[in-house]
Amino acid sequence: MAKLGVNVDHIATIRQARGGTEPDPVSAAAIAELAGADGITVHLREDRRHIQDRDVMILKRTVQTHLNLEMAATDEMVAIAMKIVPDYVTLVPEKRQELTTEGGLDVARYIQPLTKQIELLHQAGITVSLFVDPDLEQLKASARVKADFIEIHTGSYCGAKGHEKAAELAKIEETIKAGRKLGLRVNAGHGLNYRNIRPVLALGGVEEYNIGHSIISRAVLVGLDRAVREMAELVHGS
């Protein structure tokens, strides 16, 4: 059975809009877990635009499932991860001017520094995932640097239309199969919602789907508990 990781970044986005203390992503994570989330994901960006260091430190103590920390592949972030020791770290590309993560990490280009950073994270007992585009070269590089997981960037599939969507779905399917052959465990996420996730679920082979924006958007209308339960039913029923 596939698992659902709920990203609570945008609870923090609302909080930071006023610079106050609510809504609290820590409380949101607890509600999400009670509603069926199998894990909690947060992205500690270098500019701290939503999730703050304080959030990650408290979540480390309070999350009852597992905590997945998304972060840039920098020495600063590796040091923070080694201090907090989340269950998982997902290394992602990061640009300060982007609204959300655009594209996958170019693992093939940064073999040497990523190998060193992953080794340090492993020494701290942290499982490491790499957020990559559905591309065979990046999969081979991910295996070479000894990542435990890849997380397939599903943004191109989610944004595609017509025949392009079918082609992007085929790329995801090929990536799942190739990744598993290389000994990599496979997660997926970015842009997935209550509708477009169904064809991806049907492919099988993905351990966990990390979803945030769609769930938080629905939560504004129906409440967080219901929004998480509805997505969990889709994912767990696959």
In three-state secondary structure terms, 39 is: strand
The CATH class of the 3-236 domain is alpha beta
Q: 70 an active-site residue?
A: yes
Residue of 84, 7, 95, 82 whose CA lies nearest to 43: 7
**Phi and psi of 90, rounded to 5°?**
-115, 115
**Is the N-terminal amide bond of 113 cis, ω within 30° of 0?**
no
Q: What is the pLDDT along the chain (238 residues), one digit of tens a residue?
A: 999 999 999 999 999 999 999 999 999 999 999 999 999 999 999 999 999 999 999 999 999 999 999 999 999 999 999 999 999 999 999 755 544 556 799 999 999 999 999 999 999 999 999 999 999 999 999 999 999 999 999 999 999 999 999 999 999 999 999 999 999 999 999 999 999 999 999 999 999 999 999 999 999 999 999 999 999 999 999 7
**70, 151, 168, 208: which one is catalytic?**
70
Half-sphere exposure of 7 (CA within 13 A, CB side): 26
**43, 50, 151, 153: which one is catalytic?**
43
In three-state secondary structure terms, 164 is: helix
**Residue 24 burial (C-beta neighbours within 10 Å; 0-12, 13-18, 19+):** middle
**153, 168, 190, 208: which one is catalytic?**
190
Domain ranges of the chain: 3-236
In three-state secondary structure terms, 193 is: coil
Query: Can you give the pTM of this predicted structure?
Result: 0.95
Q: 190 an active-site residue?
A: yes
In three-state secondary structure terms, 74 is: coil
